[in-house]
Structure 1
Amino acid sequence: MDIKLPVGIQGFEKLRTDNFVYVDKTKYVYELAHNNVPYFLSRPRRFGKSLLVSTLKAYWEGKRELFKGLEIEKLEESNQEAWKKYPVFYFDFNGTSYSEKGALEKKLSFLLTEWEGEYQLESADNALSERFQLVIKKAYNLTGLRCVILVVEYDKPLLDVVDDPELMEHNKDVFKGFFSTLKSYDEYIQFIFITGVSKFHKVSIFSDLNQLTDISLNEKYASLCGITKEELVNTFSDEIRKLSDKQGLSIEDCIKHLIRRYDGYRFHQNGEGVYNPYSLLMAFFSGEFGDYWFETGTPTFLVSRIRESSFDLRKFTNGTIYASEAILKDYAGNSLDLIPLLYQSGYLTIKEYDATRRKYTLGFPNEEVKYGFLESLMPSYVPKATAGNGLDIFTLDDYIENGDLDGVRDVLSALFAGITYTVESDPFDYYFQAVVYLVFTLLGKYVLCEMHTYTGRIDCKVETKNYIYLFEFKRDDTASSALAQINSMDYALPFVADTRKLYKIGVSFDSSSRKLIGWEVEN
């Protein structure tokens, strides 16, 4: 029997009543509810945060029938206090644009008006925070139960206006006035759970609610969102079989493809890796290994900040992006530091951890993120590298596959000629490194291509069915010098017994003209 895949379903009640498949995470709901402390959780977009909070909402509203057959039903079996209907205040900041001043206040007022009607209060001209206080007290007095506060994507009103500092500060002030209510109303509150992609530590929701417990980097909750390998195999065995049949793969190879493309997120150094749930479900739904997470959009402000900061793109894959726990869990006000931003947004994840130095090493979680992210950067560095004009990666791949060295040279020459520099003082060295890295790393999506950046190793090695290419790139030097380095360092030695045709290619670029000026080949 085919199962119903909950693609785009974020409501727990709809998921359960309409018989969509559900990966049972209710043991975490039980633990969170019974610890009874205020929580904050940061996870990337499309990672199941809304579904998790919707599940918490159903639990606190006492909708026991929705949890029939799930793990929490057994856990609550002997609890006489379970399944009470608490007053729940559910803030979902999705689905609204906050790019205009006053949009956040309208959203909060809309929610308050609804709750004032539910708890028999007249909407007054009081400040939003005062209206919230009155609703909380009235809900407590009417029900005899303390209130539950659930907040989904609290940071959307801030991320929507990240390029408008004045409006961002305004929205922060709105939050400060509104959520500071909770700090002094602890006696009326049973449970608080707040989620978002980012944690802005200077936002009042955190500075005032200093009792919030951040579980974003907690080992116990590392698999709270996302899908583990065990959950994948146990829940989606039929879907894996159908996908493998459609793609002409064995079950084992199909799982390897899923791991390579969608697995690899780690939210604690000792935590189990998890799959991106959205991409996984879309792959099963469509029967294709697509780049689904990236189809939902990469923030343009993130791309522009990477370029503006002259960030060394080679760090993304050479294992030299480091962070402390404090960096991973926080932002420094408005600066939107790249490393925590990339980690919390899901573009980087934990790869290694040095316990002695308490140092995290970060990298791309999987191929979907790696290639999708780098493809989104390419137009910012080389706007002319678009499909159909002969400067795209597909065209370069064709030349590489066919041994057309003149074509490879022409593409590289044209790509560098097409670079747009922001100001005259921009260092050519940065663009040189960035474009070479982007071009050949993206080429690795289709052929075996390795970029090296360490002294004593070939700059780039490309392997196809019939050819091997060894590239050495020089700036303000000659192509002959680059070729001589390939020979003097015996870079071709590992391929002596290989029957494929091998090309050694020295390439030189000129900083003043910002052009490819030298190209020498030896085979």
Structure 2
Amino acid sequence: MEKLSTSISDFEELRQNNYLYIDKTEFLAKIISSDKYYFLSRPRRFGKTLFIDTLEKFYQGKKELFKGLFIYDKDWSWEEYPIIRLDFNRLEHSTTENLKIEMEEFLNGYAQEYDLKLNSTLISSKFEELIIKISEKENKRVVLLIDEYDKAIISHLSQDPEEIKIAKSNQNFLKTIYDNLKPLVKHLELVFITGISKFSKLSIFSTLNNLKELDMHPGFSHMLGYTEKELHHNFEPYFKEFAAETEISKEELYAEFKRMYNGFRFSDEDIRVYNPYSIAKALAAKKIDNYWFESGTPSFLIELLKDEQYEIPKLSDLEVFKSQLKAYDITRLQLIPLLFQTGYLTIKEKLGRDFLRLGYPNQEVETAFSQNLISELSNYEADLSLIRKLRLAINNFDLEAFIVNIRYLFESIANINIPAAASERESYYHTMFYLIAELLADRELKIDSELLTARGRIDMVVESKDKVFIIEFKANQSAERAIKQIKEKGYADKYKLKDKEIILIGINFSTDQKNISEHLIETIN
């Protein structure tokens, strides 16, 4: 059985050392046989660097590395091309001056490798000169591979004006680099650029108007990440081994992996993929956990959520114009395209030609995002043992214990980061209750928040194997009013055909007491 890698992005190392590689060379074949300039944005840890490396090895003519893969027996010359590979993860960018120094050292390094002397003084001109001189010396067009083009920009996205100033300055500098690429068409075989975010073409790729954007392009939806078919076809032995060492059957494991890690959709094509990093980590450790969030949520996203006072529950079911997901300007950060491009939201459904429904891709993203938000909004690290008690209380139908533990949790975050205005406090507690409830979801409990019905939105539905809990939240009103709304709006109607016991829970929150003031529980027979 081939080894699993969670950190190797070197195609040659994977192929020569018996590591599992999921064949994505079908997309490589599409790329090299059509256009010249490409751009691909994907969330972090989706395999962008590995794909860049695969392109590099292809253009180095290393055919034997591709033996058994889609592209191997295709009619390609497999000739070697000169390659310039620029990885912005490796360049220091705390100031634009530092970035310029790093870029100049990078260009001088390539000039030395090809025994060339560069005469230009401007870095942008030196980059152009390097490409022309390499092409002329080797008598071949140059392959230019740029990985994480936006690293020097998004690392400085913040509400801090000084950080935004650095981001803008870095962006302006990089624009001069890319502006010099278009006139070099006769010297370039391929330009392939990757990143996480997509900034306005006018601000960074203004002259590359023939740049083919693959991020939402039909036909490239599963270029990175694993489809359901790829998961079952390539990882079957690992699931068997996982199942043999646990009390979970292989079928249950597949279902749990789908709930936790599947769901990323990047285009109009209804093709959803698994996060490859999480799959490798979970199968290697034989443990289902939140792996994609190990490095945490970028602070600027939290700052944006706070600054815009965004209603967090809406993120799980959001209708937007397709155009809202396109490029944005860093001086005017927009929350929804940022959340989509960084992978926190994904396409759940296409609603006609111009509209999309967005939501969290999967349980891993939703749970870890909720945990992170609780911590950021309250300075409280969610007590996982308390979350387990809440799950246990629901599963054992011990609703009084559930309420007691909810009270305890809110007591532990009282007086921390609580807004002064009463109206803002109501929204704050509603959001905190929503985030806490989102942490309860596991394979035994299905959680739906802000669930849309024909007559309104249900605050929360918790569904177990034999019960449905419909929860309505009120602030500074009454638990009785919450129960009355559930009944008047007919929130339980859609669940009556499920042959499950239906329990209505009304909760009233007092912003003065900073906790639950009363609750009511009713069972529908």
TM-score, normalization by structure 2:
0.89
The answer to whether the 8 A contact 2:215-2:266 is kept is: yes
Tell me the secondary structure at the aligned position of residue 149 of structure 2. coil
Q: Which residue of 2 aligns with 1:278?
A: 277
1:161 aligns with 2:156: yes
- Quick one: structure 1 residues 299 and 214, their matched pair in 2 at CA, closer, same or farther if it must change by over 3 Å? same
CA distance in 1, matches of 2:342, 2:320: 16
Aligned pairs (5 A) from 1:129-140: 129-140=124-135
CA distance in 2, matches of 1:394, 1:380: 21
Aligned pairs (5 A) from 1:252-263: 252-263=251-262
Aligned pairs (5 A) from 1:42-57: 42-57=41-56
Aligned pairs (5 A) from 1:49-448: 49-76=48-75, 79=76, 82-122=77-117, 126-163=121-158, 164-202=163-201, 204-317=203-316, 319-324=317-322, 326-356=323-353, 358-384=354-380, 386-387=382-383, 392-400=386-394, 401=396, 402-405=398-401, 407-408=404-405, 410-411=407-408, 413-414=410-411, 417-421=414-418, 424=421, 427-445=424-442, 447-448=445-446
CA distance in 2, matches of 1:468, 1:43: 37
Q: How many residues align?
A: 512
How far is the alpha carbon of 1:444 from its aligned partner?
A: 2.7
Q: Which residue of 1 aligns with 2:517?
A: 517
How far is the alpha carbon of 1:91 from its aligned partner?
A: 0.6
- Quick one: structure 1 residues 508 and 403, their matched pair in 2 at CA, closer, same or farther if it must change by over 3 Å? closer
The answer to whether the 8 A contact 1:44-1:346 is kept is: yes
CA distance in 1, matches of 2:61, 2:497: 71
CA deviation profile, 1:61-105 (whole Å, cap 9, x unmatched): 2222222222212112xx4xx222211110111144523342321
- Quick one: structure 1 residues 321 and 412, their matched pair in 2 at CA, closer, same or farther if it must change by over 3 Å? farther
CA distance in 2, matches of 1:53, 1:303: 31
CA distance in 2, matches of 1:499, 1:211: 57
- Quick one: structure 1 residues 74 and 497, their matched pair in 2 at CA, closer, same or farther if it must change by over 3 Å? closer
- Quick one: structure 1 residues 251 and 138, their matched pair in 2 at CA, closer, same or farther if it must change by over 3 Å? same
CA distance in 2, matches of 1:283, 1:499: 33
Q: Which residue of 2 aligns with 1:482?
A: 482
CA distance in 2, matches of 1:353, 1:366: 17
Tell me the secondary structure at the aligned position of residue 33 of structure 2. helix
Q: CA RMSD in A?
A: 2.9
- Quick one: structure 1 residues 114 and 425, their matched pair in 2 at CA, closer, same or farther if it must change by over 3 Å? farther
Tell me the secondary structure at the aligned position of residue 14 of structure 1. helix
How far is the alpha carbon of 1:450 from its aligned partner?
A: 3.8
How far is the alpha carbon of 1:443 from its aligned partner?
A: 2.0
CA distance in 2, matches of 1:203, 1:8: 35
The answer to whether the 8 A contact 1:353-1:361 is kept is: yes
The answer to whether the 8 A contact 1:202-1:332 is kept is: no
The answer to whether the 8 A contact 1:437-1:451 is kept is: yes
How far is the alpha carbon of 1:51 from its aligned partner?
A: 0.6
CA distance in 2, matches of 1:232, 1:490: 41
The answer to whether the 8 A contact 1:321-1:363 is kept is: no
CA distance in 1, matches of 2:186, 2:372: 49
CA deviation profile, 1:115-134 (whole Å, cap 9, x unmatched): 11022223557111121122
